[in-house]
Amino acid sequence: MTSPQTTLTSETLEQQLLQEDALLRGHFRLSSGLHSDTYVQCARFLRRPDLAAPAAAELARRIQEAGLQPDVVVGPAMGGVVIGYELARQLGVPGIFTERDDSGQMTLRRGFTIEPGQKIIIAEDVVTTGKSTNEVARVLEGLGAKVLAVASLIDRTGGKAALTFPNFALLPVTAATYAPDDCPLCRAGIPVVKPGSRPEKAFS
């Protein structure tokens, strides 16, 4: 007999992300050129199936509790591929992904198709601004699909993503960003780390 599934709380998820160095606090140079006190790299969390599965199960529970019944889960590459697959598995539906073509446009490739009228959940590891999520939604809607919601591990928008559909996120994260020439972390003498370098260099 299996034990009842326990709900994954945001506090537990945050601790797991911190333990896996998937959520870092310090001084970071983002790809935009801005500096930030927070850096998220969910791949370090999602490499652990024992952590990814309960997180996806919690997202699936919330989606089902809201009465949403998707036909397909779509996770944009790269960040949405792993969580999209696991969420699809939990929901019992196919999981596919979008990716950018040679011109930089988001599209379906690899023989993936969407049928008109299919209901979609977009899966993301992190919703940062909502811009790429909306880009994926436009692609899917252009194929005749209906986007029901986006589901993510982390929402970095502070609830301010300009989305026209529900946003299910397990953990809201507030991250400050600064222009490089007006960065209090620089003024404090805290070394800046470019994502991809060793994160411990950001900490004293």
Binding-site residue ranges: 100, 124-132, 156
DSSP 195: B
| Binding-site annotation: residue ranges for 5-phospho-alpha-D-ribose 1-diphosphate | 100, 124-132
For 118, phi then psi, to 5°, come to -70, 145
* Residue appearing with tokens 């589901």: 151
Non-local (6+) Cβ contacts of 118 within 8 A are 71, 72, 144, 145, 146
Encoded tokens for 24: 């870092």
Binding site as annotated, residues for orotate: 128, 156
CB 90 within 8 A of CB 57: yes
Q: Does residue 78 have a cis bond before it (omega within 30 degrees)?
A: yes
